[in-house]
Structure 1
């Protein structure tokens, strides 16, 4: 690590103490996300079906009330949790007698039936399995994805508790070993290739790691570059993970699992553009669509390591590698500044304002214009040793 190793470990140890203190403060929040019993899950599904039967017995068209997962009006912000669905959220009514919603009504009942059978038999299925169970009814995989999340929100039960798994798209590597629920031993540092993020995060046990920090990497290309440079061994024991862009639920669950278990700093390495900033916000504070499960998905301690808009000026990144902001980019920046968590992040506000004023954005790859290995040999080591995150 060179002569500056002591400073790096000192900073990380300070953060570690803060995280341990924060972990004690958020224990009560974590309890909210504990799994419910099989009997309770079955009872909640039965209550939905009983409501439908009751309506039919009174010659009324059955309806389903699904919480609206796309409205900012339905979420509140808590700095220790992130975006969470409000108790009095508005709902979308799915009617069985309306041509525009009867198909979705049937799709929800079908998925509820599958989930009931899975829980009852204590077995699991992927969302893809459910789709192929009746492709004609669902029409597309995305339909199943949305309905499973709607049901999870409606029943107030996590997707894992519903015994529905999703194929992970994320990758993880570094100083980390654990055992899968089926007994498979995983060593994320045993080869130069990354390990796919588990599709059953809740079943992971016996996590062993000497990592000093977790680094969330926005893009697969940057993640692969860190792998090729043997970043996790040359700088410091660490864990790197990517959701390959907008993260899937399993990648977010894995970051949260590592944070809960290891109590080490978590940094985000994203492009200096509106899209990258939003991805970091999803890991840190969550999304509107999944706000009902915020307690198990968000990591409020995530720190923005880079690429910062201020880094572009400070490092004098060559102008020919910078990209002008589009109207859509400007709209996204304005939207970000209105998010309920931005007032608590003055340094973030400054960075976003700087991007608005400069009217340019930059990808992490632009650092290669300074020197081919600038990211891994200079930028990240200096950031982690001397600070520079927000």
Structure 2
């Protein structure tokens, strides 16, 4: 199949872009209690921390054991769904008390105060550290990197301060390539067009500026292997101009922030290319609607404009993909699929429900690589160009 003519191709994308722009709602009138600034000044962050410490000191002065109140950010009952924002934490959600006099939470109480003190010093001195730096400052105390990660998110939620304002950075794992250039916070100029393997997503996404691109769309690619294959096939030039992003599986915070920044800056169509399995669908949902654990920052992380381009379960039959490259759903896959069909953002998506029903009925899943059974370059030469030309997304 020949590539679509540039006229037809750009016309389809321009129509889709306009429909997205028409659907963007004015955020000025949103409830101020549920929307926080993308950034908080250093003085605001310091004051928020001081208020917490003052509460601890006041309890001690009264002879009472101090405790910290933290929102339960992992419970679905604390989440509401807004199709223009995604998963959001409800204003008056259930909370947990991290008590200093409880055997079960004493250590957690001490670790939270330890990390808060480290954050306070960094904000005060206007310095930054990665989560990895914090962990290695006392590995025996923290025990694991996961403990540090959880505490930082709890502190961000407790203080009502975006994590980037805490001066704690994450080490990026995602990559970006295509028609994009920008300037990093330290003045380094980055040109993603000139890199044959992709550019690592910056660790401080909000520090980048002067983003320049003529791209007509952004393609989110679930897997790094598929991302690299598309680069090897020169996809960015064959169907240029475009931008490709991969979070190498479940996306880290920086990759999600970057996708949101690309949307806010360029307002061009964003498509997701994921495996036709429950895990791939969930990864797409994280970009589009967010995750439960980070719902308190949904307004700055989610991009509801993301569209599911492929691999669709219906594509498997439509393209006559050989059965020997398909994979049976495991019991875990099937249970996950059933659970996802009940989620609020799937209930309101009839086309998604139809695709998930196809998967449930067939009890089969397929990786993007299954398309190579048709031809080695089928993905870049036929599948993606025809999908985008004919509006094959949902």
Q: Distance in 1 between matches of 2:388 and 2:217?
A: 10
Partner residue in 1 for 2:159? 155
Please say if 1:383 is aligned against 2:387: yes
SS at structure 2 position matched to 1:25: coil
- Check conservation: 1:193, 1:227, Cα contact below 8 A: yes
- Which of 323, 326, 329 is matched with 1:319 structurally? 323
Question: Post-superposition shift, 1:191?
Answer: 2.4
Note the 1:199-348 alignment, pairs <5 A: 199-348=203-352
Q: 1:48 aligns with which of 45, 52, 57?
A: 52
Q: CA deviation at 1:117?
A: 0.6
Residue in structure 2 matched with residue 166 of structure 1 by the alignment: 170
Deviations 1:117-176 (A, max 9, x none): 111111111111111112121011111011001100111111111110000000000000
Q: SS of the counterpart of 1:172?
A: strand
Task: Tell me the distance in 1 between the aligned counterparts of 2:81 and 2:4.
Answer: 42
Contact 2:3 2:386 in 1 (8 A): no
Q: How high is the TM-score relative to the length of structure 2? A: 0.97
| 1:91 to 2:95 alignment | yes
- Higher alpha-carbon deviation: 187-196 or 169-178: 187-196
> What is the alpha-carbon distance in structure 2 between the residues aligned to residue 353 and residue 27 of structure 1?
38
**TM-score, normalised by the number of residues in structure 1:** 0.98
Q: Distance in 2 between matches of 1:28 and 1:287?
A: 24
The answer to whether the 8 Å contact 1:23/1:260 transfers is no
- Structure 1 consecutive aligned stretches of length 4 or more whose deviation exceeds 4 Å: 27-31
CA displacement at 1:352 relative to structure 2: 0.3
Distance (Å, rounded) in 2 between the aligned partners of 1:323 and 1:220: 20
Task: Give me the whole-angstrom Cα distance separating, in 1, the residues matched to 2:287 and 2:179.
Answer: 21
- Select the residue among 137, 155, 177 that pairs with 2:141: 137
SS in 1 for 2:70: strand
Identify unmatched segments of 5+ residues in structure 2. none
Q: Distance in 2 between matches of 1:112 and 1:51?
A: 14
Show structure 1 runs of 5+ residues with no match.
none
Superposed displacement of residue 25, structure 1: 2.4
| Counterpart Cα distance in 2 of 1:189 and 1:234 | 13
Aligned length: 390
Residue number in structure 2 paired with 1:25: 26
Counterpart CA distance in 2 for 1:27 and 1:176 is 29
Shifted more, 255-264 versus 16-25: the winner is 16-25
CA–CA distance in 2 between the matches of 1:336 and 1:31?
27
Between the aligned partners of 1:279 and 1:3, the Cα distance in structure 2 is 29
Q: RMSD between aligned alpha carbons?
A: 1.4
Which sits farther off after the overlay, 31-40 or 283-292? 31-40
2:8: which partner in 1? 7
Matched residue SS, 1:341:
helix
| Residues in 1 aligned to 2:55 and 2:238: alpha-carbon distance in whole angstroms | 60
Residues 75, 31 of structure 1: alpha-carbon distance in 2 compared, 3 angstrom cutoff: closer
SS in 2 for 1:80: coil
Q: Secondary structure at the match of 2:286?
A: helix
Q: Is the 8 A contact 1:26 1:80 kept in 2?
A: no
Contact 1:7 1:386 survives alignment (8 Å): no
Instruction: Give the CA deviation at 1:387.
Output: 1.2
Moved more, 35-44 or 310-319: 35-44
